Amino acid sequence: MDEKTGYRLSTSVQEGITEITISGEVVENAVEKLQNDVLAILKSSRARNVVIDVREIKGRFGPIEAYFRVRSYPVDRPIVNTAIVDLPENADFQTFHETTGRNAGLSMKWFTNLNDARTWLKST
Q: What is the pLDDT of residues 50-99, one digit of tens each?
A: 999 999 988 766 666 666 666 666 667 778 999 999 999 888 777 777 78
Model confidence at 1: pLDDT above 60: no
Give the number of other CB atoms < 10 A from CB of residue 82. Answer: 22
Model confidence at 117: pLDDT above 60: yes
The pLDDT of residue 12 is: 95
* Mean pLDDT value of segment 6-15: 92
Q: Three-state DSSP class for 81?
A: strand
CB 85 within 8 A of CB 114: yes
User: Could you tell me the domains of the chain?
Assistant: 7-123 (3.30.750.24)
* Mean pLDDT value of segment 109-124: 94
Does this model's pTM top 0.95? no
